[in-house]
Structure 1
Amino acid sequence: MKYHHILVAYDGSETSKKALAHAIKIVENQPICKLTVAHVLNRPPYAIASYGLVLPEGYQEKIQEYENALMQQATEQIQNLPYAKIAMLKGNPASAILDHANENACDLIVMGNRGLGAIKEWMLGSVSHHVVQQARMPVLIVK
C-alpha cells in the first residue's frame, strides 16, 4: 500500500524505536512519502486544589534535557529522508497524536506497544489502545 504521510509516535522506549525503524523502512521504499516523528510533552499539573508539590531544584531543566536528547536521537535517524520532520506536541498523548494525524492528513500512524499487561492496561489505559480505537486511518502497532 502507498502512503503519503506517516506519523510515528516516539517516546524513546524500545518499542517506539522499533516503530520509528519500521516507519523509516516504509518511507525508504516510497521516496515521496512524508514522515513526521511526534513526541508528546505531557506534564501533569504540580498543584491540586491548593496543595502543591515541591519539585527538586533543576527538575524542569533535567526533563527538558531528556526530551531534547530524545528528539536528537530521532533527528539522527531521519536526517537522510527528504520529507521527514519532528513535531513536538502537548497534552494527553493519545489525543495529541490523533489530533495531529487528522490535522496533517496522515494516512498511517505507527507506534510501539509497551505491553502493560491486561490488568495494568485495564487500570491505566493504553495510549496505543486508545489510538487504535479512535483513529480514522490505519494504525500499525510494532512490538
Structure 2
Amino acid sequence: MYRSVLIAVDGSHNSLRAAEEALKLKAERYTLLSVITSEDSKESMLHGTGNSELDRRDNLAHIISKFSGHQYDVVFAHGHPKEKIVEVANDGMHEILVIGTRGLSGIKEVMMGSVSRHVVKQSEIHVLVVK
C-alpha cells in the first residue's frame, strides 16, 4: 500500500481512467494534480468564469467525485504540463505518479511529443501509465 499517490488529471476520459486505477492502489492519501496552461487561462477569460482554477475544478467534478470517502487534495499548477507534472512528482511528497497516455490535447501531443513519455523519463518516482 502506498502512503501518497499523485494523479495527473485534465478532465479527459483517459485521466478519469488513470484516477480509477489509482484508487485500486488503496493509498492513504491521493493528490489530483491539474496543470493549467496559458491557453486554459485565456479560454477562461473569454468563455468561462474568468477563473481558470474554478473552471478546471468544474471540469474535474466527475473525477473528484470518485475520491469521496478517501483522503485527497486537488492541486492546480500553472505552466507546461510536461514540466509541472515532473516538478510536482519530484518534490519528494509522493511515492508513485499515475498518468493517462493521452489527455485533452491529443493532436498537440503527436506534434510536440508525449507528455506521459516525458514524465516517465524525467520522474524520480515510479510512474504508472494507464492506456
Structure 1 residues 34 and 22, CA gap change in structure 2 (3 angstroms):
same
AA aligned opposite 1:15: N
Which has the larger Rg?
1
Residue in 2 that maps onto 1:99: 87
Deviates more, 1:63-72 or 1:94-103: 63-72
Instruction: Tell me the distance in 1 between the aligned counterparts of 2:76 and 2:51.
Output: 14
Aligned partners of 1:101 and 1:109 also within 8 Å:
yes
Question: Where does structure 1 lack aligned partners over 5 or more consecutive residues?
Answer: 47-52
TM-score, normalised to structure 1's length? 0.74
- Identity between Structure 1 and Structure 2 (%): 27
Question: Where does structure 2 lack aligned partners over 5 or more consecutive residues?
Answer: none
State yes or no: 1:140 paired with 2:128. Answer: yes
Counterpart selection for 1:40 from 35, 44, 49: 35
Instruction: Tell me the distance in 1 between the aligned counterparts of 2:59 and 2:92.
Output: 22
AA aligned opposite 1:74: I
Residue in 1 that maps onto 2:60: 71
Structure 1 residues 73 and 63, CA gap change in structure 2 (3 angstroms):
farther
Query: 1:7 is paired with a residue of what secondary structure?
Result: strand
Query: 2:18 is paired with a residue of what secondary structure?
Result: helix
Superposition pairs of residues 106-125 of structure 1, within 5 angstroms = 106-114=94-102, 121=110, 123-125=111-113
TM-score, normalised to structure 2's length? 0.80
AA aligned opposite 1:101: A
Query: 1:26 is paired with a residue of what secondary structure?
Result: coil
Aligned partners of 2:96 and 2:127 also within 8 Å:
yes
Query: Cα offset for 1:125?
Result: 1.1
Instruction: Tell me the distance in 1 between the aligned counterparts of 2:60 and 2:15.
Output: 12
Query: 2:128 is paired with a residue of what secondary structure?
Result: strand
Residue in 1 that maps onto 2:74: 86
Instruction: Tell me the distance in 1 between the aligned counterparts of 2:63 and 2:38.
Output: 21
Query: Cα offset for 1:71?
Result: 3.1
Residue in 2 that maps onto 1:3: 2
- The alignment's C-alpha RMSD in Å is 2.8
Query: Cα offset for 1:44?
Result: 4.1
